[in-house]
Amino acid sequence: MQIALLKLSNKEIPGIEEHKHIFITEFISADNILESDIKFDVVLIISNIENEIISTTKELRSENHLIPIFVSTGLEKNKLKYNAYIDGYYESFEDFYSKCSSIIEIGNSLINRGVNDQDNKILEFLLCRPDYVAQPIKDWKSRKIYTYPILNVFADEGTDTEQWMQTLHNRDLIAQVELVGRIRECPFCGSAHLMFVDICPNCQSIDIVNVPFIHCFTCGNIEPQEKFISGDSLNCPRCMTHLRHIGVDYDRPLENHLCNSCGHIFEEPNVIANCAECGNNSKSEELITIEKYSFQLSEHGKVVTQHDNISDVIKILDNINYAHLPYFQFITNWLISMYKRQNDMNFSIVGLNLDNMAQLINTIGRGKASMILHGFAESLRKLVRTSDICTRSSETHFWLLLPQTDSKGCEQFIKRLNDIKHVSEHEGGEALSFTIESYSSDKDFDQDETSELIMAALSSRLS
């Protein structure tokens, strides 16, 4: 294991030097690591400055989205902002080594992946870290208050991470874990920086005061208490009654707000939200409510992330009498028209769905899964005649066109196909599993038949 040790402070790491098959190279900056010719498996940062850890991790992750990054620090570990960026703390060598290994192992199974777009980066990052939960972090500098640090790391320039996360969620690639917060946004500009201001319900002035009021039972007068005070006693300014006992002569009304602009007396002020960004005022019911959840890779997201990557394994099957789909369909349509003219010109189509390719890659790794499929392909090659044609219509739907084959011949073919299933078995007991559906002209022919209709009908039964 090649470890890049990024020494930003002088703290020593106990126990790390003693292990063989561990190669440590020391660095003093992230740039040096990225410029190095060595391909590192892990980066271990030694630092006691939070912002330094954040900027370094961001830099490393933007170049290598899967690399495990661990930290050794004297800082208190919980609630630190950089927890979202790192894979953990160096506590003991064994713990560090096993956590790194698991990330590296899943990462290696993703070799030969396609374009590294932002979706791919975040999905693969999450796939390598099955327990990772992306937490929204409060950041007053962000116009939405909450940000997802890990999205900011992988987002292409100009990406609205809020929208991006929404898209990932709509596509069911990520799943909500826990409701963390609820924010209100300005309906005009979307900013979450709102000031809630109390105003007079009568004239909307903000010049309102909260003062104690008195309600005179004799004449019903309600006015601020200060108007009743004369010397050391209370007298109603309207009816001049001397107010002695609360509950008998007077009481305190619910109204306790006074507008200095219009003199209105009221119980509850109105509240408006004033946007700090665009300056517009909104009533609270006009604000947009956004709920903030922590999230993780969904089950569907896992399958998609792996599924996207089975194409290179599946390609093994494309060496057997392979024809592109349109050509396959063209030949089938030609056979259909031949059969219409001469109904002893039988043909059959066999459709195969490879049921568990993605799971195989996931459980036994890409190398072994390829071996299994390779073994299957070799046996299939022996079974297929030179005049048979194969194609694929999707990643897991594999097709064989068997000219001059009636339903009886097709049945025999399927029997042998099932026989070679066990050939492809792996020592661990893992085997390729597939579903077979077939069509034979002597049994299933319809006057309006086309190759598209046949394949569509078989496809729907296959998946």
Single residue of 235, 256, 261, 407 touching Zn ion by CB under 5 A? 261
Closer residue to Zn ion in complex, CB, 144/366: 144
Stretch that binds Zn ion, among 4-12, 202-210, 386-394, 398-406 (CB under 5 A): 202-210
Single residue of 202, 274, 296, 404 touching Zn ion by CB under 5 A? 202
How far CA 370 is from CA of 96, 114, 237, 320, 426, in Å, comes to 30, 17, 96, 16, 11
* Residue 264 found at the interface with Zn ion (CB under 5 A): yes
The token pair at 433 is 């599993």
Residue 379 φ/ψ, nearest 5 degrees: -65, -40
The sign of the torsion formed by the CA atoms of 199, 200, 202, 203 equals negative
Stretch that binds Zn ion, among 38-46, 187-195, 349-357, 373-381 (CB under 5 A): 187-195
As a whole number of angstroms, the distance between CA 379 and CA 376 comes to: 5
Number of residues that bind Zn ion (CB under 5 A): 22
From residue 272 to residue 301, the character string flagging contacts with Zn ion as x (rule: CB under 5 A) and all else as - is ---x-xx-----------------------
CB of 136 to Zn ion, least distance (A): 21
CB of 206 to Zn ion, least distance (A): 10
As a whole number of angstroms, the distance between CA 240 and CA 249 comes to: 12
Taking a C-beta distance cutoff of 8 angstroms, is the pair 415, 349 a contact? Answer: no
* Residue 225 found at the interface with Zn ion (CB under 5 A): no
From residue 130 to residue 169, the character string flagging contacts with Zn ion as x (rule: CB under 5 A) and all else as - is ----------------------------------------
As a whole number of angstroms, the distance between CA 266 and CA 212 comes to: 12
Single residue of 49, 111, 262, 271 touching Zn ion by CB under 5 A? 262
Taking a C-beta distance cutoff of 8 angstroms, is the pair 65, 124 a contact? Answer: yes
Closer residue to Zn ion in complex, CB, 238/374: 238
Closer residue to Zn ion in complex, CB, 61/144: 144
As a whole number of angstroms, the distance between CA 117 and CA 172 comes to: 18
Pairing of strands 213-216, 222-224: antiparallel
CB of 255 to Zn ion, least distance (A): 13
- Of residues 227-246, those binding Zn ion (CB under 5 A): 236, 238-239
Pairing of strands 229-230, 194-199: unpaired
Residue 376 φ/ψ, nearest 5 degrees: -65, -45
Binding site for Zn ion (CB under 5 A): 186, 188-189, 191, 200, 202-203, 205, 216, 218-219, 221, 236, 238-239, 259, 261-262, 264, 275, 277-278
